[in-house]
């Protein structure tokens, strides 16, 4: 199946439709003292404030390179409303295919839920502006293990699920059905989430709620309650705290080796280079006797 096109089977004969998907990289503009601070010595980590910024920049460039290499949707970048756009633009000069960035826009601030909601609404035309895509897949900037194959699978599952008959979409004339796809990360969170413009889903209370429900559980609960077709893709860990960093190092080294034998594998070159520059390596101390 070609990404972006599928056969519609619900209403009469099969009709070839095109579902335009936006791949949105949801990020802060890297800044010392504001990004990846839990990796710093100030917070019990191993990096300086400047090293944490440089590390995140490397991860972000690799994530964007992955998104553009996947060739399964228009690539957009949504950054924090008070971030330095000029600095972000200068940073983006280091990506492999800058011509494949469809656009860059700032969120409108507020809680994490509200910022992510705006990131999706902007491309789905939910705020009264032009609809730029029929579906959105949002990824974080701190996923050095992300691969093009995972993004392609997410888009493919959205397309397939959008053909599934469900009660979540009330208008039977709509060509694109409701669908949500998600990829988990550690501690009950998620690193990838996607849905169609007809999906009755919002981020309210996903990240911030008073019930102690994890973000992953909250999404699943919302989807299940509303009868929305749901798909899952491979887990992609993010890097927030020192143990995440230590766990990530052997993963990206394995990806680097695999890329030598499989052209479909994209090594996170910027992250690997940064780890080498920082002299970081993972270790597993022997158990105490």
> Is residue 283 a part of any domain in this protein?
no
Amino acid 165: pLDDT: 77
Q: Is residue 287 part of a domain?
A: no
Give per-residue pLDDT as tens, 123-179. Answer: 999 988 899 999 999 999 999 999 999 999 999 999 999 988 787 876 655 688 999
87, pLDDT greater than 90: yes
Let me know: does 104 contact 131? Beta carbons within 8 Å: no
- Reduced to 3 states (helix: H, G, I; strand: E, B; else coil), residue 127 is coil
Question: With bands split at pLDDT 50, 70 and 90, how would you rate the model's confidence at 18?
Answer: low
Give the pLDDT confidence score for residue 143 in this predicted structure: 98
Is the pLDDT at 236 greater than 60, yes or no? yes
Average model confidence (pLDDT) across the chain: 91
Q: For residue 10, is pLDDT > 70?
A: no
pLDDT digits (tens, 9 = 90+) for 37-49: 999 999 999 999 9
Mean pLDDT on 85-110: 97
> Has residue 127 been placed in a domain?
yes
Range of the domain at 172: 5-278
Residue 4 banded pLDDT, cuts 50, 70, 90: very low
pLDDT at 172: 55
Answer yes or no: is 284 within a domain. Answer: no
- In angstroms, what CA-CA distances link 183 with 38, 89, 103, 194, 270? 23, 28, 24, 9, 23
pLDDT at 72: 96
Residues 6 or more apart from 255 whose CB is under 8 A from it? 145, 147, 265, 266, 267, 268
* % residues pLDDT > 90 (the chain): 83
Look at residue 220 and tell me if it is in a domain.
yes
Q: Identify which has the larger pLDDT, 159 or 12.
A: 159
pTM for the whole structure: 0.91
86 found inside a domain: yes
Q: Alpha-carbon torsion 103, 107, 113, 118, what sign?
A: negative
Q: How many domains does the chain have?
A: 1
pLDDT at position 7 = 37
Check residue 170 and give its pLDDT: 66
Average pLDDT over residues 244-250: 96
Which pLDDT score is estimated for 97?
97
Higher pLDDT, 81 or 283: 81
Extract the tokens encoding 132.
Answer: 């730029």
| CATH code, domain with 274 | 3.90.550.10
Q: Is there a domain that residue 138 lies in? A: yes
* Sequence-distant contacts of 219-227: CB under 8 A, at least 24 apart: 219/180, 219/182, 219/190, 219/193, 220/182, 223/180, 226/168, 226/178, 226/200, 226/201, 227/166, 227/167, 227/168
**Does residue 288 lie in a domain region?**
no
As a whole number of Å, the end-to-end CA separation of the chain is 56
The Cα–Cα gap between 271 and 55 comes to 7
Task: Give the mean model confidence (pLDDT) for residues 67-74.
Answer: 97
């Amino acid at each position: 199946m070609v990404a972006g096109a599928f056969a519609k089977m619900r209403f009469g004969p099969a009709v070839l439709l095109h579902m335009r998907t936006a791949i949105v990289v949801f990020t802060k503009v890297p800044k010392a003292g504001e990004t990846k601070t839990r990796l710093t010595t100030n917070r019990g980590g191993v990096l300086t404030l400047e090293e944490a910024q440089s590390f995140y920049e490397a991860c972000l460039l690799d994530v964007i390179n992955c998104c553009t290499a996947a060739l399964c949707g228009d690539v957009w970048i949504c950054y924090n409303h008070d971030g330095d756009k000029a600095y972000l633009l200068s940073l983006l000069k280091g990506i492999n295919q800058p011509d494949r960035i469809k656009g860059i826009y700032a969120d409108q601030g507020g809680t994490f839920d509200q910022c992510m909601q705006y990131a999706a609404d902007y491309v789905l035309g939910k705020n009264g502006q032009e609809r730029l895509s029929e579906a959105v897949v949002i990824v974080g900037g701190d996923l050095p293990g992300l691969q093009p194959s995972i993004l392609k699978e997410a888009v493919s599952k959205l397309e397939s699920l959008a053909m599934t008959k469900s009660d979540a979409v009330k208008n039977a004339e709509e060509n694109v059905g409701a669908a949500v796809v998600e990829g988990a990360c550690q501690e009950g969170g998620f690193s990838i989430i996607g849905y169609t413009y007809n999906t009755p889903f919002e981020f309210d209370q996903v990240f911030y709620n008073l019930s102690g429900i994890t973000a992953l559980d909250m999404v699943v609960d919302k989807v299940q309650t509303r009868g929305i077709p749901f798909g899952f893709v491979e887990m992609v860990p993010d890097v927030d705290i020192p143990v995440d960093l230590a766990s990530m190092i052997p993963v990206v080294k394995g990806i680097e080796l695999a890329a030598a034998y499989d052209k479909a594998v994209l090594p996170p070159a910027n992250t690997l280079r940064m780890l080498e520059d920082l002299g970081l390596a993972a270790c597993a101390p022997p158990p105490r006797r």
